[in-house]
Structure 1
Amino acid sequence: MDDLVVVGAGPYGLSIAAHAAAAGLRVRVLGRPMASWRDHMPEGMYLKSEPWSSNLSAPGGRHTLADYCAGRGVRAEHGGPLPIGTFSAYGLWFAGRAAPEVEEVTVTELTPQGGGFRIRTAQGPPLFARTVALAVGVMPFVNFPAVLRDLPAAHYSHSSGHRDLTRFAGREVAVLGAGQAALETAALLAEAGARPCLVARRPRLNWNTVPQPLERSPLRALRDPHSGLGTGWRSWVWSELPWAVRRLPAATRERIAATALGPAGAWWLRDRFEQRVPVLLGRHLHRAVAVGDHTRLELTSATGESVVLDTSHVISATGFAPDLRRLELLDVGLRTALRTVGGGGTPELSAGFESSWPGLFFAGLLTAPSFGPSMRFVHGAGFTAGRLVKGVLGRLGARGRLPGSAPGDRLDRAAAGHPEA
């Protein structure tokens, strides 16, 4: 039986595996490495976060994005957007150096068994583990406006469903949303020869400003500190103090996770977008009807004005809605037994990212209502990986510590459920 099975091989899963292997745990990683980045983002996209805040996490700060880029003559500089393809390649490079070999299998079921867990996959016999870390990324939580769901499948799609946008050349495409995914998808569509139109409920688009230099006067740095999630004290808190967010009341944490760092476009995208993409802002989509091979969108404004938009396809760039009920690989009994944050559908977690079911840990998007908006970004992997592995060590210690493993610390005791933490 393995000590830890990590389900998911994106930035969070690979970072957790790197820390677990360094701690001497018997760990396996299941999934397609960097799948979301390799398979669900169109050619031509760029990383929105700064390169220095987009590192996967290994003990000692090794195997950074800067290390990867420097060895290949690639520029990864503050204020310079980095291609998604470069970041994906970095993740694969990291996986080959810092983590155990990834097993490219699809996990179909996770069930409690004998004080541990049985993990079924689509490709082979079941696996058994003492503890499991679910780092499943965002794809199980793709979010669509309800009014689209009655359309024929060929009429609409999610922005994460496209690797190549050239298939839309010469066609009208309505893009729904106001965040980076919507804005960059629309710009890429225009550049691929399509005729996109952006539709958003917001009355105006928000654009990030050009980042301030890393080297600034002490007064300027104190007024607007840099952080992994942007400039300013609020972003600094979300970036650097996830442990403090966790101590807030559940309703406050849910509100922060839902509203902090709202939709905005990268500064370097603005000219490309505004020169080529028409917009319909302040419009609410209240009906979508298939008319032959086209889709008719009925939109209303805040003043009740109606607009009808006919388009050949709708791309919904409306993000992801984390909810345990959509995590179908979890055994139903296990899923329904988990304590959740407030009235939401995400797991309540210990300081070591352990759920209310002993030995079951979570990472990534599902943890944002517990630890804050940093968990929606690659930057959160640095906070998560070390603490989660300490939580695993604490749980294993509670069941009988592994030979040769180090004594637990205060965080170990918290993850194991000891009240003094």
Structure 2
Amino acid sequence: MYDLLVVGAGPYGLSIASHAAAAGLAVRVFGRPMESWRDHMPRGMFLKSEPWASNLSDPEGRWRLDVFCAFRGMTTRHAEPIPLEVFAEYGLWFARNAVPGLDERNVLRVTPRTGGFEVVTEDRETLTARTVALAVGVLPFTEVPAALHGLPPALVSHSSDHAGLDRFRDRDVTVIGGGQAALETAALLAEQGTRVRVLARADRLRWDDVPPPWERPWWRSAHCPHSGLGPGWRNWFYAERPGLYRRLPERTRTRIAACALGPAGAWWVRERVERRVEVLLGREVVTAREVPDGLRLETVGRRGGAGVLETEHVIAATGFRAGLDRLRPLCPELRALLATGTDGAPEVGLEFESSYPGLFLAGLVTAAGFGPAMRFVHGATFTAGTLVRGVRRRLRSGPAGWRIPAGRRGGLPEAVRR
């Protein structure tokens, strides 16, 4: 029986597994490593987060992004975005060096059993564990406007459905949304010759400012500090103090998680959109139906007034919504036992343990509890260390036959694996 099984091999799952292995736990992590980044983001994209805020987490900080880039003969610099492909390669390098027990099979079902959990893999192997950490990323939580439901994938897709955009070359595409995914997708489409427009509910697009220099007078840093979520004291609190954020009243936490760091484009994509991509603001799709050449969209303006638009394909870059009903690896009986907050997401305690003992949650699904940082790679560091402490506490409080090693650090390689 394993001490911990981690379901999901993205930045959060890999970081949790690294901390668990260093703590001497018998751990195994399941999933295709960095799947979202490798298979669900178009080539040519860049990370919106700063390079120094995009590290996966191991306890000793040995396997950072800047170390990987130096090993590859590259240099990371503040305010210079990292290509998506580089970050995906970094995640695989981290997995090889910091995560023993990686298994690329998917998990079909997690079921409670006496003394822990039973986990069934895609090829029907059954394993048991005293604790489970669910770190499934964002893919289970894709959100598409209701007006587009029921239409075939050939006409409607989510922005996370695409590893490449070549099939839209010389076609007409409408991208719905006003955030980074929508704007960067539209920029890439325009640059390859696609006739593309952005349709957004907001009255104007929001753009992040160019970050202030890394080195600057102390009084400017005191006025507007850097943080893993951007400059400013509010962002610093979200990024660097999620444990304190967790102690805010639930209604306050839920409201902030829903509204903070809302849709906005990175400063470096702005010039690629303005004057190159048609932007239709203050409009929302109310109905959509298939026509011979694609889709006919009927829209309504925020200040009234209807419009009609015909397009060959719609890409919904409309984000993700975490909810208990989307945690498919959990068997229905286990989902029914979990307490939820006002936003419908499962509640977690101070160490990311759900209301069911031994089941831990990580990533986007915990944003209402620990704040906006849980929507970004930067949150993996706090999550991994805190969650593994919670796992160790749970193991200590388990049945008399349970025991955990005292900080053994076996299994981590000394040399970089190529």
The TM-score range, normalised by the shorter chain, is over 0.9
Residue 383 of structure 2 corresponds to residue 369 of structure 1: no
CA contact (8 A) 1:148 1:156 kept: yes
Question: Alpha-carbon deviation of 1:405?
Answer: 2.4
Alignment correspondent of 2:250: 250
CA contact (8 A) 1:95 1:101 kept: no
d(CA) in 2 for partners of 1:73 and 1:124?
43
Residue pairs, 1:120-139, within 5 angstroms: 120-139=120-139
Contiguous gaps of at least 5 residues in structure 1:
407-421
Counterpart amino acid of residue 390 in structure 1 = R
Alignment correspondent of 2:219: 219
Contiguous gaps of at least 5 residues in structure 2:
408-418
Residue 403 of structure 2 corresponds to residue 402 of structure 1: yes
1:389 match: secondary structure? helix
Residue pairs, 1:223-372, within 5 angstroms: 223-341=223-341, 343-372=342-371
1:47 match: secondary structure? coil
Cα distance per residue 1:68-90 (max 9 Å; x no partner): 00111112110101100000000
Bigger Cα displacement from structure 2, 271-280 vs 16-25:
271-280
d(CA) in 1 for partners of 2:38 and 2:247?
35
Bigger Cα displacement from structure 2, 132-141 vs 331-340:
331-340
Question: Alpha-carbon deviation of 1:403?
Answer: 4.9
Q: Once superposed, which parts of structure 1, at least 4 consecutive aligned residues long, lie more than 6 Å away?
A: none
Bigger Cα displacement from structure 2, 332-341 vs 181-190:
332-341
Cα distance per residue 1:33-82 (max 9 Å; x no partner): 00000000001000110000000000121110000001111121101011
d(CA) in 2 for partners of 1:385 and 1:362?
11
d(CA) in 1 for partners of 2:75 and 2:189?
26
Number of residue-to-residue matches in the alignment: 406
d(CA) in 1 for partners of 2:313 and 2:405?
58
Alignment correspondent of 2:151: 151
Question: Alpha-carbon deviation of 1:259?
Answer: 0.4
Cα distance per residue 1:331-357 (max 9 Å; x no partner): 11110111112x222121111110110
Residue 177 of structure 2 corresponds to residue 177 of structure 1: yes
CA contact (8 A) 1:152 1:290 kept: no
TM-score, length of structure 1 as denominator length:
0.95
d(CA) in 2 for partners of 1:320 and 1:123?
29
Q: 1:189 to 1:403 in 2, by over 3 A?
A: closer
2:79 match: secondary structure? coil
Considering only aligned residues, what root-mean-square deviation do their CA atoms show, in Å?
A: 1.2
TM-score, length of structure 2 as denominator length:
0.95
d(CA) in 1 for partners of 2:404 and 2:169?
60
Counterpart amino acid of residue 405 in structure 1 = A
Q: 1:403 to 1:183 in 2, by over 3 A?
A: closer
CA contact (8 A) 2:25 2:404 kept: no
d(CA) in 1 for partners of 2:274 and 2:308?
22
Question: Alpha-carbon deviation of 1:150?
Answer: 2.7
Residue pairs, 1:183-202, within 5 angstroms: 183-202=183-202
Residue 17 of structure 2 corresponds to residue 12 of structure 1: no
Alignment correspondent of 2:382: 383
d(CA) in 1 for partners of 2:171 and 2:307?
20
Q: 1:278 to 1:10 in 2, by over 3 A?
A: same
Bigger Cα displacement from structure 2, 286-295 vs 256-265:
286-295
